[in-house]
Chain A
């Protein structure tokens, strides 16, 4: 069987979902037999070098760069998966939704208890920096997403089972313990 190509990225996430990917432990050796990683922090490839079968996205979109990366994933990947709470719902970063951006920036850079070092009192505005979005968007509100793997982070077994199912074309078993809410 030809190896499937995989790409992964972390947008507005904490890399916890990626840690959970690594949590498949020694099965990562089996995974390497099944897939080849392309653009991903796992192998540190920065740009897409070939068409990808499965793209895995951690985190939602909080800035323009997230949107650009997500759009490039959609363009280069046949199948796109939202991995984890932040990609699916916006997650913790989305707590800022509903608070005016000005208030968030003021708190973060001018008035919060930890801003003592910002002696120049400027809000970051360099053209090199990504632009903040009006709110944090889950991935599927920006591009089409094919599959969702919930969890914060999703359990390693779930990630493993889902990948194996996708790669082998078998149906994913979803027993009650996996889909229950609490």
Chain B
């Protein structure tokens, strides 16, 4: 075992900032990351044992205990549950002979739950080892497990149900569907790949590129909406002996899956965007942070990078431009939503826990390895390529005054045609609903759990940075859904699960609010509980990052927009109820000591 570890470490030159890769490799060869291996790693990488352990324990897909040979991670997102997760789980449990969270006795099969894996338009979905299986039904589950037991490999099983577009390429071979329903300025296939790098960069200065991007008024597509040109300008001016470009492909916001489709169908443009950014700010290395759930794309993407190197679109003197040296490396995440937050992402890239940093300084000044770093979303970088190609004016004509250009939406939930829609900013929610074939709509979640749950009275509002901003996630709920139990509770659980735990507000308040919500759902709530939620949620504003700051949004926006649902549940005759139940709270201890509960009712 030691020899294998030595080999892995020397593959990464003993560089402790590559701990994520080292751990992935160890998990692949050893099956899990045992305590003695962590000790060995600490010695060899000059880290403390605690530093290794805290990284291992932070990420969902690293394990310090043996997992099974085949591990099934069944997605627990809201749409998975809407479209039959319970039955699929039962089918897995029956077929594998184990319950959720367990490993079978022979160590062959393990069954776990996981947060949204970016397949919201084809749920229920599961990761089986690193392969994605979508549109699961109990029938399909029994087939998959039977095939596995009969000795078929996961690759062989996937071939039978391969997805569309490039998902069917042998190097991807995934049961994943692009579901591109509407193309616009970004997605229409009118762009000859690499033409900006090849034909334009040699004839244009880096300042001019930044000017074009600034004049285009494009703002970040990852959610926060920071003006991209300004970010690049800051990055190019910041002091440091090196600079970096990071492409954020963590795509963890439940309901978002557009970056997956961009990386499947247009990776050339994403990488080209990174090179353009590198040229503009003077960076020599680009890092694509790819969420672990998209590992099935890794070989394919590396193939594209190789091809770019061959054609000198990456490497030294890129496209013949003297002293423009730029290469790209893909860093695989390990399952943590918080790593989408740019400073947490950078910590993770450095091999640490994905805990957001205090800001300022912002990454443009002190980012990766404390050097100036540009972090942009996948869609932002791909779009920039077309902006440079077609000019700022071209882009300014798209969208509305406040938000120019187009937005790629990920639409899922109760609609006839879930999938990817590229629309111009300014579209109203009513139009969105009509476009995706949604009827009997009760509510739509705009911008994922950290966004807002809105109802009919707001369907006239527009998608834009100033009215209804969105990173792209739109989840539709029809009248049959129990919004509080199925949606709000699920989203709140998500934030509790994914908090990095640094801030006491984010670690505790969502939990406290969930207790309140459960109390209300269980018929023990009173009016004051609803008021308490609105008051108490405010403390989350002092949290360090956006996760904590928005963790109460599901509950708070549902109170604001669906107050009647709460009013119908709270008790009318009582103004105080602690929710405490003596009978149920003594059950466990009585069972353990072997006695019958006795109550003296006064």
Contacts and interface: CB of A to CB of B under 8 A. Distances in A.
A42 interface: no
Main secondary structure on B side of the interface with A: loop
Interface in B453-467: none
A131 to B, nearest CB: 4
B65 interface: no
B1 interface: no
B598 A123 contact: no
Nearest to B594: A125
15 contacts: A64-B586, A68-B600, A68-B602, A71-B602, A101-B588, A101-B589, A123-B594, A127-B596, A127-B598, A131-B597, A132-B586, A133-B586, A134-B588, A141-B579, A143-B580
Contacts of B595: 125-127, 131
A142 B586 contact: no
Contact of A131 (B579, B586, B594): B586
B434 interface: no
A142 B578 contact: yes
Contacts of B600: 68
A156 to B, nearest CB: 30
B314 to A, nearest CB: 51
Interface string A91-104: 00000000001100
A134 B594 contact: no
B590 interface: yes
B592 interface: yes
Contacts of A144: 576, 578
B593 interface: yes
Contacts of B585: 133-135, 137
B582 interface: yes
B531 to A, nearest CB: 15
A142 to B, nearest CB: 5
Given A123-B594, A125-B594, A125-B595, A131 B578 contact: no
A67 interface: yes
Given A68-B600, A127-B595, A133 B578 contact: no
Given A64-B586, A133-B585, A133-B586, A140 B578 contact: yes
B154 to A, nearest CB: 37
A124 B576 CA distance: 35
A135 to B, nearest CB: 8
A140 B532 CA distance: 14
B589 A133 contact: yes
A134 B589 contact: yes
Given A131-B597, A144-B576, A67 B582 contact: yes
Given A68-B600, A123-B592, A127-B595, A134 B580 contact: no
B590 A131 contact: yes
A32 interface: no
Interface in A110-138: 123-127, 131-135, 137
A3 B536 CA distance: 38
